[in-house]
Structure 1
Amino acid sequence: MIQHTLIKKRRWKAKPIGDRVFDFLIYTVLTAITLTSIYPLLHILFASVSNPNALMSHSGILLKPLGFTLDGYKLVFKDNSLLVGYKNTIIYVGLGTFINMLMTIMGAFVLSRRELYFKNFIMILITITMFFGGGLIPWFLLMKDIGLYNNMWAMILPTALSTWNIIILRTSFQGLPVELEEAATIDGASQANILFRVILPLSKATLAVIFLFYLVGNWNAWFNAMVLLRDRELFPLQLLMREILVANDATATTIGSAGGVVIDSAESSTAFRELVKYCAIVVSTLPILLVYPFLQKYFVKGVYVGSIKG
């Protein structure tokens, strides 16, 4: 370790003064960007465990918790609607991401076949959907007519396939050596065997990136729920979060005597409602933050591989 540090110092001293200044500026800018990105997370975390009355009276930057209390989390987990929303979101994310990956893999595999007739024409039709749509009202009427209104599938089927992701994955499949498929065909492999035993194992990086795109998109989805769902028992977590954070719906959280927390004034009720907002943000964001570190290493490699060829 010491030898490694000495080598770094020698390399630093061997650099021209211009390169040193440039490196210093780069590290300074990157440090500032890192702090700018991390601070909002720390602010929300500190606020979620702060004393609600002290938090309401505080203004400016928050560098540490103002006292310490878990009453906000008690209220969040005491509220049944948020727990139901959590359950619904897990169902939508799990089933939705599975269908997303299945549809994207099948579509990309078909479009990557060199012998596919009218491939360019089909790609043009698919690409057009990225830029043009029928509009919100026709889309809503269509969803209602085909039975995707106020039921679980309204959160899954309308977003079953992303044009952007299928293009990335198709390009990744096309970048694989054709000799591998030819060798598998000579050995008697079917198209399904080629897909699952040759192509997918060699495309893990791109698949991981697309999987994370779908996972985060499904976790954060709220617009389709707002338009297509009317039964609160079907609401995902993010739609309830919208009520808490944007609409400021006082009925979205239970403010009263819960989990040993007794609120005895309108001022305290407002303070606790503000505290619950921060706690709900932490609860809804934590699962995705836990997934990112395990998949982020695939990001650059996966997107790069999927963009080599047009």
Structure 2
Amino acid sequence: MNQLNALKQVTTVVADTGNFQQLAQYRPQDATTNPSLILKAVQQPQYAPLLHEVVQRFADAPLDDLMDRLLVRFGCEILAVVPGRVSTEVDARLSFDTNATVTRAQRLIELYQGAGVPIDRVLIKIAATWEGIEAARLLEQQGIHTNLTLLFSKVQAIACAQAKVQLISPFVGRIYDWFKKQAGSQWDEAAMAGANDPGVRSVREIYHYYKHFGIATEVMGASFRNVGQIVALAGCDLLTIAPELLGQLEASTAPVRPALDAQAARQLDIAPVHYDEASFRFALNEDAMATEKLAEGIRAFAVDTRKLEDLLRQAGAGA
């Protein structure tokens, strides 16, 4: 049995891509997207027509509406391939505005429902700022399920659990990147691989906390740099994996053993934590890695959102 099929026996495998034509061969349950992945996709010849189609059909629509329609168009194509859910991201520039995030999320759901997609097949991705988590709390109360992204710390994960969000996406690879950069020439790749990888350790700690306290929020490891990180989190609720790494898993027959165990987590000695806004902000500020990677991630998604907007403008001018 190859590693991909072995992983599927203990973890729900999710594809992290906007390239829906690649999805079928790996047969993931769900798929996740973000502005960077959609930007990458629409610049490929096979996907450029989708962008032009949206611009031509809704030529008089404001730019933010065109953007949402493009994201939903990709989401609908993905849902034609995967049996489960698609994650679609709210504009990262709204990451510090609870009300605007709620409004934009509601709009995305309206567009999906207008396309005949049931509400339970969509997760709205929101950055795990305090304002984003609060928006997710309000959306969950309305029956709109959320995926809290750009999550780098147990602090963020606990606040998400308090908000009763559907799912969180702790970022393994970006945590790894930060610690590797900080260590510089002192970094020992072999010693920090697998279970010792700082990104893997972070997700394991969050998983243990959630399972120990019976928290229903799903944990989906994300942002992987190598297969070793993925295998070290076998047993996690879900793992969202880029097509290149899905291909590597499919090509390997190395063993995959469950590394996370919900039942074992219940036996651990873990103290409960609760955050209000002030204590959340201070605890997150104390974590330099999480603070820096959250800010950096929001900036990067905002840059790619603007690039997508530029492509929509150019398509509109040429229509």
Whether TM exceeds 0.5 here: the answer is no
Larger radius of gyration: 1
Task: Choose between structure 1 and 2: higher strand proportion.
Answer: 2
Q: Give the TM-score normalised by structure 1.
A: 0.24
Which structure's residues are more often helix, by fraction? 1
